[in-house]
Amino acid sequence: MGKELYVRHISDRATEDDLRKLFSIAGTVGSIHLITDLETGQFKGCAFVKMASDNEAKEAITTLDGALLINRVILVGEARPQKQKTGKPGGYQGKSGQDNRPGRGRK
């Protein structure tokens, strides 16, 4: 079971292939996901890199945290689990002051 890493401060000139070549120093790279802005598609300077094993992930953190990639010093750490979102999808919570539970709404 591999570990996912979070990589920050990546140059906007870096490509997925650049990251794959760099992280292959520490072992087998399972996948790379470059983070882009949903509206503009612009690269945000960070990525998720999944290594094939936990040991390779630890090696990548030890070896590559603070490494120079193109023109930037990158930061590499273990990715945190995604936070659970609360509330209803879309953000609409109903009319203000109205309780939608049975027997509790306005009359």
More confident position, 4 or 105: 4
> So where are the chain's domains?
4-78
User: How does DSSP assign 55-75, residue by residue?
Assistant: HHHHHHHHHHTT-EETTEE-E
What's phi and psi for 62, nearest 5 deg? -65, -45
* Average pLDDT along the chain: 86
Do residues 64 and 22 touch, judged by C-beta distance below 8 A? Answer: yes
The closest alpha carbon to 20, from 62, 48, 58, 54, belongs to: 48
Share of the chain above pLDDT 70, in %: 78
Confidence at residue 90, expressed as pLDDT on a 0 to 100 scale: 57
State pTM to two decimals: 0.75
CATH architecture for residues 4-78: 2-Layer Sandwich (3.30)
Question: What sign has the CA pseudo-torsion 24, 78, 72, 62?
Answer: negative
